[in-house]
Structure 1
Amino acid sequence: MSAAALPDVRRLIGYRAHGAARLVLEGHAALEDVEGSLAAGQPETAVLMAHDLIQISLSIRGLATAGELSWPQGQASFDPFAGVDPQEVAEGDALAARGLDHGDEAWLEELRAHLAETESRLGYPEPLPYVRSGAGMFKAVGLVRTWAAHLEKLGLPGVLPGDWALPGD
């Protein structure tokens, strides 16, 4: 009987910690942007925001294999599709683009389901906190504290955006 190969512990911890942080800090906000654009009667903006949402979601999925832990927003060097199956990229792009013709509640539910599937893959036993709720930020801080020592021990970057972690003036 052969033993199954152990997972790359650094990759696994980076995926779960950075994936969760990216989802609660970026993914939820991107979904809100889509919802707000649709509610305001701005379907083209909703589709642009949906493309952002899909890129964030797929970048989280890619962390499991080869994605970049650092999330330098707006940087041309960041590849949100690193480590993601090309079929998933094509499906995600098609989902976002469908909003041009079908920017309705059913489309919005598909986007929510896509993000929920990404969250499910992270393997947490309960839903991740929603930071824009009353208790969400406190729960998110607890999540950060859970991972901080492990990330540091493994020489991985912290999960908070750089400007959040700077000492006060």
Structure 2
Amino acid sequence: MITLVIIQGSLEDIAGGVRAGQWRMVAAQTRQLVLASLQVSGLEFGGEPFWQENGGALDQISCAPEPLRVQGFALVHEANELANDPSGADSWLARLEEWAGLVQRGLGVDENLPELRSPQGMFGGLRLVRGWTETVDSLGLPPLLPSDWTKPL
């Protein structure tokens, strides 16, 4: 779940931020991407699951492989520098995507993760369902999604 939601979502945010020139958002999302990626990759080597909402008194990235940590933190540092000089943003983004791909392949995920936040991704499907809900309700048809799926958390 961390891989799909946090890492893939962050990658999409970062790519959009690079296109829009939102360098502080790019830096913040890169930090989140790298920390989540290192935490997940460290699980294979004895790391413990960590959920930011619940906190925890452990170093969630200490079990990640050293080369991944070094490369990841270098990418975070470079993301912070993009605000001063964005000229290398495209090549930096390509290296970040390649690094995230290494992490995913280390987890046994050999295919690109599906898009989440684009019209072609899951959010586009939710938008379609949301638009059809009124029509389905007005015709007295059963709901498109089970009611358990649509309850507020």
The normalised TM-score by structure 2 is 0.63
Q: What RMSD in Å do the two structures reach over aligned CA positions?
A: 3.1
Asked whether 1:118 is paired with 2:103, we answer yes
Which of these residues, 16, 27, 49, is aligned with residue 36 of structure 1? 16
Matches for 1:76-155 after TM superposition, within 5 Å: 77=57, 79-99=59-79, 100-101=81-82, 103=86, 104-124=89-109, 126-132=111-117
- Cα gap change, 1:120/1:43 in structure 2, threshold over 3 Å: closer, same or farther? same
Indicate how the Cα distance of structure 1 residues 112 and 56 shifts in structure 2: closer, same or farther if over 3 A, else same.
same
Three-state SS of the structure 2 residue aligned to 1:64 is helix
Q: Secondary structure at the match of 1:31?
A: helix
Q: Is the Cα contact below 8 Å between 2:38 and 2:61 reproduced in 1?
A: yes
Query: What is the distance in 1 between the residues matched to 2:95 and 2:54?
Result: 26
TM-score for the superposition, normalised by structure 1 = 0.58
Aligned residues: 122
CA distance in structure 2 between the aligned counterparts of 1:40 and 1:81, rounded to whole angstroms: 30
* Structure 1 position 135, deviation (Å): 6.4
Quickly say closer, same or farther: Cα 1:74–1:41, change in 2 above 3 A: farther
The SS at the match of 2:9 is: helix
> Higher relative CO (CA 8 A, sep ≥ 6), structure 1 or 2?
1
Deviation, 1:83, is: 1.0
Higher CA-based Rg: 2
Relative distance call for 1:36 and 1:74 in structure 2 (3 A) is: farther
- Flag structure 1 segments of 5+ consecutive residues without an equivalent: 1-20, 138-164
In 2, the alpha carbon distance for the partners of 1:45 and 1:126 equals 27
Answer whether contact 2:31 2:76 (CA < 8 A) is retained: yes
Distance 1:40 1:128 in 2: 23
The one-letter amino acid of 2:49's match is: L
Rounded to whole Å, the distance in 1 between the matches of 2:92 and 2:54 is 26
Query: 2:37 — aligned with what?
Result: 57
Q: Deviations over 1:84-130 (max 9, x none)?
A: 13343122101121131464111111111111111111224544433
Superposed displacement of residue 58, structure 1: 1.0
Indicate the SS of the match to 1:38: helix
Counterpart Cα distance in 2 of 1:37 and 1:76: 30
